[in-house]
């Protein structure tokens, strides 16, 4: 399919209202699009298709996820080939890669590329490319992209050595990979996306500090809940709201008074607590709710 045909199909997809038509058009795009970075940018087909990622129809959202994944990998492979042809990519020897299922990165612990140093880096928009760090550690492009995203997130406003940051990023990715039975699946992707987003939060430098200072181990980090990863300021705000809600709930309880004017019909004791509420129309008398303090018997009257 050329760009014009893709745009026409996208237009029909946006107008489609029933699941059968949507699925048919998505399959046409899945079979017909030969993804290149230029084509995807020109047609914005990825944006149009991604809208159906959370569709209630399981067949539709599964197909969309598969399409996006395949297109992303094709574009990454295209970039890799261009870099190799241009002489910009580092040559890879026969021992520089292992299977994605082996769970271990190539080249040992993911050390930075030759020529980079462990000297203090200036804080700024750091990423593997600017720091000269190689993140192509596996045969699987998704795992490599995850390591790269984690590195960029951990390096925000930090001046740690690249070798230290890449070791933490690689360890986090490896722990998630192992937790998913050494498979790159939707659960793996969702977990990595959540962890990366929390680490990228500029209002949460404490989380990056705790990881890079090894106050939290990667294995412990991947078990943390979103509330545990939240910034300290947000935690304090949540705690404040929790206390306020408890106070409001306590303030809403009825005030009970104890009297000897009523007699319990069950045990005949006169120590009875009571409160009154307007349960009917305003011109009707209040309803009195009684509780015997001796046996717990309850009754009401108007």
Query: What CA–CA distance (Å, rounded) separates 291 from 259?
Result: 11
Smallest Cα–Cα separation from 17: which of 52, 67, 58? 52
Q: Are residues 111 and 173 in the same domain?
A: yes
Q: Are residues 74 and 116 in the same domain?
A: no
Mean pLDDT of the residues in the chain = 81
DSSP the chain: --HHHHHHHHHHHHH--SHHHHHHHHHHHHHH----HHHHHHH-HHHHHHTTTT-SSHHHHHHHHHHHHHHHHHHHHHHHHHHHHTT-SPP--TTS---GGG---TTTTTPPPTT---SPPPSSS--HHHHT-----SS-HHHHHHHHHHHHHHTTT----HHHHHHHHHHHHHHHHHHTTS---HHHHHHHHHHHHHHH-TT-HHHHHHHHTTSS-HHHHTT--HHHHS-HHHHHHHHHHHHHHHHHHHHTSPPPEEESSS--TTT----EEEEEE--S-TTSPPEEEEEETTT--EEEE-
| Position 118 pLDDT exceeds 70 | no
* Residue partners of 162: CB distance under 8 A and separation at least 6: 112, 116, 118, 121, 131, 132, 133
CATH of the domain at 291: 2.20.25.10
- How confident is the model over 166-189, as a mean pLDDT? 92
Q: Are residues 129 and 68 in the same domain?
A: no
pLDDT of residue 40: 86
Six-digit token string for 118: 């462990």
pLDDT of residue 281: 78
Tell me, yes or no, whether 250 lies in a domain.
no
Q: Are residues 42 and 137 in the same domain?
A: no
- How confident is the model over 170-183, as a mean pLDDT? 91
Tell me, yes or no, whether 93 lies in a domain.
no
| Position 14 pLDDT exceeds 90 | no
- How confident is the model over 230-247, as a mean pLDDT? 72
Q: Are residues 35 and 131 in the same domain?
A: no
Of 68-72, 110-114, 141-145, 184-188, least confident by mean pLDDT is 110-114
Q: Decide which of 27, 52, 85 is a domain's last residue.
A: 85
pLDDT of residue 102: 47
Instruction: Give percent of the chain above pLDDT 70.
Output: 82
Tell me, yes or no, whether 148 lies in a domain.
yes
pTM of the model: 0.45
34 or 115: whose pLDDT is higher?
Answer: 34
Q: Decide which of 85, 111, 128 is a domain's last residue.
A: 85
Q: Are residues 24 and 59 in the same domain?
A: yes
247 or 278: whose pLDDT is higher?
Answer: 278
Q: Is the dihedral angle over the CA atoms 121, 125, 130, 134 positive or is it negative?
A: positive
Of 27-41, 107-121, 178-192, 197-211, least confident by mean pLDDT is 107-121
| Position 38 pLDDT exceeds 70 | yes
pLDDT of residue 82: 76
pLDDT of residue 263: 92
Q: Are residues 144 and 229 in the same domain?
A: yes
Of 63-72, 76-85, 120-129, 283-292, least confident by mean pLDDT is 120-129
Query: Which band of pLDDT confidence, cut at 50, 70 and 90, is reported for residue 54?
Result: confident
Of 6-20, 82-96, 109-123, 230-244, least confident by mean pLDDT is 109-123
| Position 162 pLDDT exceeds 60 | yes
Query: What CA–CA distance (Å, rounded) separates 166 from 135?
Result: 8
Q: Decide which of 85, 109, 142 is a domain's last residue.
A: 85
Q: Are residues 110 and 222 in the same domain?
A: yes
Tell me, yes or no, whether 155 lies in a domain.
yes
Q: Are residues 161 and 39 in the same domain?
A: no
Q: Are residues 126 and 225 in the same domain?
A: yes
Tell me, yes or no, whether 94 lies in a domain.
no
Tell me, yes or no, whether 44 lies in a domain.
yes
Q: Are residues 75 and 105 in the same domain?
A: no
CATH of the domain at 77: 1.20.930.10
Q: Are residues 79 and 130 in the same domain?
A: no
Tell me, yes or no, whether 162 lies in a domain.
yes
Range of the domain at 34: 3-85
Number of domains in the chain: 3
* Residue partners of 146: CB distance under 8 A and separation at least 6: 173, 176, 192, 196
Write out pLDDT tens, residues 151-161.
999 999 998 99
Write out pLDDT tens, residues 55-106.
888 888 888 888 888 888 888 888 888 776 654 444 444 344 444 444 545 4
Tell me, yes or no, whether 239 lies in a domain.
no
pLDDT of residue 37: 84
| Position 144 pLDDT exceeds 90 | yes
Rg (CA), the chain: 31
Query: Which band of pLDDT confidence, cut at 50, 70 and 90, is reported for residue 221?
Result: very high
């Amino acid at each position: 399919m050329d760009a014009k045909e893709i745009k026409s199909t996208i237009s029909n997809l946006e107008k489609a209202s029933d699941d059968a038509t949507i699925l048919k058009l998505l399959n046409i795009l899945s079979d017909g699009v030969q993804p290149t970075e230029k084509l995807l940018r020109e047609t914005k087909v990825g944006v149009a298709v991604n809208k159906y990622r959370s569709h209630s129809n399981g067949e539709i959202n599964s197909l969309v996820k598969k399409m996006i994944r395949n297109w992303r990998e094709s574009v990454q492979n295209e970039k890799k080939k261009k870099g190799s042809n241009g002489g910009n990519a580092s040559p890879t020897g026969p021992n520089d890669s292992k299977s994605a299922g082996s769970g271990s990165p190539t080249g040992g612990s993911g050390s930075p590329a030759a020529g980079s140093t462990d000297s203090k880096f200036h804080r700024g928009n750091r990423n593997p490319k600017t720091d000269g760090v190689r993140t192509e550690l596996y045969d699987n492009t998704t795992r490599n992209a995850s390591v790269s995203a984690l590195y960029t997130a951990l390096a925000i406003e930090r001046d740690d050595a690249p070798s230290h940051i890449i070791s933490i990023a690689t360890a986090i990715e490896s722990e998630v990979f192992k937790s998913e039975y050494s498979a790159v699946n939707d659960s793996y992707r969702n977990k990595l996306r959540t962890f990366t987003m929390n680490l990228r939060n500029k209002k949460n430098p404490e989380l990056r500090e705790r990881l890079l200072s090894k106050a939290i181990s990667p294995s412990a980090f991947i078990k943390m809940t979103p509330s545990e990863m939240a910034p300290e300021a947000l935690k304090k705000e949540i705690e404040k709201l929790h206390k306020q809600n408890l106070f409001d709930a306590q303030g809403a309880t009825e005030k009970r008074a104890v009297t000897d004017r009523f007699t319990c019909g069950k045990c005949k004791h006169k120590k009875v607590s009571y409160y009154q509420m307007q349960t009917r129309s305003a011109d009707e008398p209040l309803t009195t709710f009684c509780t015997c303090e001796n046996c717990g018997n309850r009754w009401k009257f108007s």
